[in-house]
Amino acid sequence: MTPLPGRLVLLGHPVSHSLSPVFQNAALDAAGIGMRYEALDTPPGLLHVTLDEAKADGWVGNVTVPHKESVFARCSEVSPIAKRVGAVNTFRASRHGLVGHNTDVEGFREAIEALLGRQPVNLEFGVIGAGGSAAAVLAAIEGWPECKALVANRGPDRLHALVERFSSVAQTSDVDEIAGRADVVVNATSLGLRDEDDLPIDVRRLANHTAVLDLVYSARGTRLVREAENRGLRAADGLSMLVGQGAAAFEWWFGVSPNRDVMWRSLGRPPSTRSASH
C-alpha cells in the first residue's frame, strides 16, 4: 500500500469559512483512509516557510486565495493544465520538490454544466476577475465549441495579461458591456464572501436568459445568487465547483475516486440537488 502523506491541508488566507474539510473528511472516512483534512490559515508572509515544511514532511493538499499563483511559482513540476492556467490549487510535496496540479478547471466545467443542464455551445461568457480562478474559467471556455469570453477586472495590468494569454477566446471588457451581452456571468473575484460586499455586477441589467455563476459560496447562497434568483435568473454559487474540484483532487492524491454522494450529504445537500437550484 502506498504510504499516506505526512499531512493533508488547505493553504489559504482566510480559510475559516471553507467547507472543504467537511466534505473531504467525509470522503476520507467513506474510503477508509486514516487521515484528516485540515484548513491551515497561511498569511502570505508565512507561505514560503509553510511550503518548506510541506516538502520536508511530505504533505499534500489544496491551495486557495491568495496563494494559487505563488504556489505555482514554487513548483518544480506542474501538470499541463496547471501550466496553462498559471495557477495551482492542488499539490504534492516531497523532499524532491513541489508538484502542482489544477482541478479548478474540471470543477468549473461541472458547475457550468449543472447550471445550464448541458455542455455550453456558442455562448458568450462574462468573466469578472483576472486571478487564478478567472484563468481556470478561461481554460475551460477554451474547450467548449464556439464559446467566447468578455473579461473585466478593476486592475488593468492583470486584465490585459490574462486576456493576452487566452486571446483565442477572450477579450477585454467592462461590467457594463458584460451586463448587456453575456449569456453567462461568472464572478471570479472574492467579492461576495460577505453580504456587505459590493456586488460585482448589477443583476437588474442582465437579460432574462442570462445565467449567473458566483464562484464564491455561502451556506445560504451568496447575495449575488439571491438577487439573481429573485429576478428569475438561473443562478448558482460556487459549491458545485468546490465539490467537483475537491473530488478530482482526492483522486489525484490517493488514486481512488471519492464517494460523491457522501461528500454532498455531508454538506446537507442531497446529490439530487447538485444543480443550480437553492
Active site residues: 68
Helix (H) or strand (E) holding 179: helix 175-181
Cα-based distances in Å from 251 to 139, 233, 244: 21, 34, 11
Cβ-count burial 197-227 (b if 16+ within 10 Å, e if not): eebbbebeebeeebbbbbbbbbeebbbbbbb
Going from the C-alpha of 164 to that of each of 93, 161, 172, 258, the distances in angstroms are: 31, 5, 9, 37
Helix or strand run (H / E) with residue 210: none
Contact 41, 58 (CB under 8 A): no
